[in-house]
Amino acid sequence: MMIVLPTPTTLARPLLLTMLLLGAATVPVVASAQRSDAAAGSPVRVYPIDPERAPRPTLRAVRTTHPPVIDGRPDEPEWLRADSATDFVQQLPTTGARAIYRTVVRVLYDADHLYVSSINYDPTPGRAITAGIQRDFVSSNSDAFAIALDTYADRRNAFLFIVNPKGAIRDEQTYDDSRTIVEAWEGVIDVRTATLRMPSGDSAWTVEMAIPLRTLRFDGTRDVQDWGLNFLRRVRRVNESSYWAPLERQYRVHRMSKAGTLVGLQGLRQGRNLQIKPYVVASNAQGAQVLPPAYGTKSDAGADLKYGVTPALTLDLTYNTDFSQVEVDQEQVNLTRFSRFFPERREFFIENAGAFTFGDVEERNFRMGATLRDFTLFNSRRIGITPDGRPVPILGGGRLSGRAGAWNIGLLDMQTRTLDTIPGEQFAVGRARRNVFGNSDVGVLVASRSGNGSYNRSYGADANLRPLPNMVINSYVAASDAPGDSSDGYAARASLGYRGRLWNSSAMWKRVSNQFDPGVGFVRRRGMQQLFATTGVHARPALPLTQEVNPYVEADYITDLSNEMQSRSLQAGLNLLFRPEGEVGVELSDEFDRLDAPFTIYPGQVIPVGRYAWRDATAHYSTGDGRALAATVAATVGGFYDGTRRAATTSLVWRVRYNLSLEGSAQRNDVTRDAGAFTADVASLRVRYAWSTSLFGSAYTQYNSQTRAFVTNARLNFRYRPLSDVYLVYTERQDTRSWVRNERVLALKITHMTAF
C-alpha cells in the first residue's frame, strides 16, 4: 500500500519555521538543564549526575585460589570477598539519573581466567525480554548485561561480551574508541545465567562468566595490570540503559576513553595462544551461472591457524580457505548512477578488520558527509569475489595484526587460484598506525594487487585526531598506481566534527581524481570535489513523553575538478524521540544532478544527459525495539530526475518467543517519467529459530525486481564445542524473468578448534 504525503512545497514553510523556533528555544532550555540549581517547578529536567564530568570509577579485582563454579549462581564465598561495582547511572531514558534497576558486579581472577558475576535485580525477572538465544543475538532488542575490557589500558580498543537472560552470548572487538566494531570476532568464554530469589528476598537474573586469558590480548610483560573497564545493564521493557562508568546518550559501552578502571591484576599467564581449526566440506552445486570447475559434487578440506607471536601480535594463517557457511548478500535497489557497496561477511576478513581501516571513516553519532561505503583504500571483497558476486577459490594466506611498541600494525597477504578464465592473483596490504596525543592516531597503508603480468598499487597516509573530548578531525591523502596512466590518481579529505550534549556540527572537504582506482579498494565516485556541512540540535526539553528533539540542516555540494557544479543536496529535518522509546521524523530535500553521460536506472529505462533539479519529502516512524512486534515505516514523495517518485519502506520484527522471531522488510519505488513508468521492489523475509544456545537455524528469502533476482538461503548451525561447528547451508538463486536456476548449492561443513 502506498503512503501518500503532502507535497514538499506545502511542508517546507511550516517545517522550517518549526525548526527555527525549536533551535532558538532549546539553547536556553538545555543550558538550564546543565545547572543543578534550577528553580523548583522549572519545566527543565535536572540531571543529578553529569556523565561528562563525573569521575571515572575504579574496581579492584581479587585473586582467588578457589575458582567459582560457573553455573549462573554466584553463591560461592569467594564472590563475597570481591569488591562490588554498583551505583549504575542511567543513559536512557533520563541521562544522569540513578538506575532504577539495581545491578551488582564482582570480578575475581587467577593466573588463567577472569571471573565475572552480575546480579541484575528485577522484581519481575520473568518479564525480562530475551530476543534470541543464538550466538551473536541482536542485543539492542534484549535485556542484557555487558562488559567491555580495554586490556592495554590505551583508552581506544576493547573486547566486548554481552549476555542476555537466557545465557546467549554476543562478543565483539572494537577499535579507535568505538569507531570500528568487528562483530564477527569470537572468543572462547564460559557463561551461565539463572533466575534466583536472593537471600534478601529480592528477585534477580544472574550471570557468571569465566573468560580464559588466552581469549584476550594484553601486555604479558607487565606483572601488574590495570585495564579499562565498563559495564552495561539494559532493561528493555522500560528502555533503561545504565552504565557503571556514566556515559552521555550518544556513546556506547565500548567508548573506552570514558571507561572506568579495573585494578589489582597481577601475575597473569597468557599461555601459548595457539589455535588450530581444520575443516572438511562437501557440496553439490548446479545452475546456469556456476562455473565449470565448481559444478557438481565436490569435497575439500583446509585449515586455519592462530598463534600469538608475542603477547601483543597475533598471526593468522589459512589454507584452502572456505566460506560456504557465509550468509548471502542482502539485495538492494540502486536508483543512482554509482556502484553499490556490499559489506564483508566472511569471518577471516572481518576479524581484526579494524586494524586495516582507511578511508571515509565514520564517527558514531556524527553526520560526516561520507562513509566507508563511499571510499575505502582496502576493501577485502576484492579478494576472492568477482565483480558480479561469484566466489573465486582462495589458495591461502596470512595476517599479522596487533601492537609492536607504540605502533598498531596489520599485514595481510592472500593468493587466489585460477578459476576458469579468471587468473589467480596475489593481494598484499600493510597498515601501521601510531597513537599520538592520547586518543589520536596517524598512520599509513600500502596495498598491492598483482597477477597475470599486471599490477595495481595504492598507498595513503591518514590522521584521526581528537583535540578536544567532543571534537574529531579526520583526514587522508591516497594515491593509486598501475601500468600506463589509467589508474594513476589520488584522493584527499579533511573533515571536522563536534558533538556535544546540545550541538552536533561537522564540515568536510574531499577531492577524488578521475584516474584514482585502488585495485584492493572501493571508490563510489571519481572526478569530483565535495563540500559538506551540517548542524543540528539534540534538545531534551521537559515535554510529556518526549526524550529528545533533533532539528538539523545539512548541505552537500559536489563539483567536477574544474569547479563546475555536478550535484547539490540541501536538507532540513526534524526528529522526535519518545519516552520510553520510539521515533518520528520528517525531512525535506532540494536536489540537483548534472549528467554528462546517460545511465540505465532500470531495465529499459535510461536517464539522458542533462541538468535535473527536484524536491522531495520523507517521513518515518519507528516503534522502537523493545516490543514483541516492532515496526519501522517510511515514505517519500516528490520529484526524481525528469519524473516523480513515490516510495514506501517498511520493516517488521515479530518476536514470537525468546527463541523464535520473524523479520520482514519491503521497499517499493514507483517512478513516473515521460519516457514511461516503472516500479522497483525489493522484499525479504527471515525466520530465526534456536533449539538451544548451541543449535540454531535461519532461513532467508529475498526478491529484487530491479535485478530480477529471487534468492533463498537457509542455514543450520550446531556448535558442539567452543569455536567448533557443524554447518548445513542451502542457497538458491533464480532469474524471475525466465525462472532459470542460476545457482543451487547444498553444503555441509564441519570445523574443529583445538587450543594449546
pLDDT value at position 672? 95
Q: How do 375-376 and 610-622 pair as beta strands?
A: unpaired
Q: Which helix (H) or strand (E) element contains residue 347? A: helix 347-350
Q: What is the pTM of this model?
A: 0.84
Q: Tell me the pLDDT tens digit for each residue of 127-165.
A: 999 988 988 888 888 999 999 999 988 888 899 999 999
Q: Does 107 reside within a domain? A: yes
Max CA separation in the chain (angstroms)? 80
How far are the Cα atoms of 101, 377, 415, 505, 518 from residue 447, in angstroms, in the given order?
A: 50, 8, 14, 33, 8
Q: Does 485 reside within a domain? A: no
User: With the CA atoms of 388, 390, 392 and 396 taken in that order, what torsion angle do they form, in degrees rounded to the nearest 10?
Assistant: 100
Contact 492, 510 (CB under 8 A): yes
pLDDT value at position 600? 92
Question: Where does 379-492 have alpha helices with state H?
Answer: none
- Rounded Cα distance between 659 and 693, Å, is 9
pLDDT value at position 485? 63
Average pLDDT of 731-750?
Answer: 90
Most confident of the ranges 261-275, 297-311, 607-621: 607-621
Most confident of the ranges 103-117, 295-309, 479-493, 537-551: 103-117
Q: How do 58-60 and 260-266 pair as beta strands?
A: parallel
- Rounded Cα distance between 491 and 376, Å, is 11
Q: Does 163 reside within a domain? A: yes
User: Which candidate, 447, 509, 444, 440, places its Cα nearest to that of 482?
Assistant: 447
Q: Does 167 reside within a domain? A: yes
- Rounded Cα distance between 364 and 361, Å, is 10
Q: Which helix (H) or strand (E) element contains residue 212? A: strand 203-212
pLDDT value at position 46? 52
pLDDT value at position 312? 78
The average confidence (pLDDT) of the chain is 88
Q: Tell me the backbone φ, ψ of residue 713, rounded to 5 degrees.
A: -140, 125
pLDDT tier at 12, thresholds 50, 70, 90: very low
Q: Does 42 reside within a domain? A: no
Average pLDDT of 326-336?
Answer: 83
Average pLDDT of 561-589?
Answer: 94
Q: Tell me the pLDDT tens digit for each residue of 359-395.
A: 998 887 788 899 999 999 999 999 988 877 778 889 9
pLDDT value at position 351? 77
pLDDT tier at 262, thresholds 50, 70, 90: very high
Least trusted range by pLDDT, from 81-90, 245-254, 263-272, 637-646 = 263-272
- For every residue of 717-731, DSSP letters joined together read EEEEETTEEEEEEEE
> Which of the two residues, 339 and 79, has the higher pLDDT score?
79
Q: Does 148 reside within a domain? A: yes
* Grid cell digits, residue 713: 538461503
- Rounded Cα distance between 321 and 415, Å, is 10
Contact 630, 582 (CB under 8 A): no
Q: Tell me the pLDDT tens digit for each residue of 20-43.
A: 333 433 333 333 333 332 333 333
Contact 493, 476 (CB under 8 A): yes
Q: Is the pLDDT of residue 621 over 90?
A: yes
Overall domain count for the chain: 1
Q: Tell me the pLDDT tens digit for each residue of 703-740.
A: 999 888 899 999 999 999 988 999 999 999 998 888 88
Amino acid identity at 111? A
Contact 285, 253 (CB under 8 A): no
Helix (H, G, I), strand (E, B) or coil at 684: strand
Domain span at residue 201 reads 49-266
CATH number at residue 113: 2.60.40.1190
Q: Does 211 reside within a domain? A: yes
pLDDT value at position 4? 35
Least trusted range by pLDDT, from 232-236, 262-266, 435-439, 450-454 = 435-439
The answer for residues whose C-beta is within 8 angstroms of residue 33's C-beta and 6 or more apart is 44, 45, 46, 47, 540
Least trusted range by pLDDT, from 299-308, 433-442, 655-664, 682-691 = 433-442
Q: Does 94 reside within a domain? A: yes
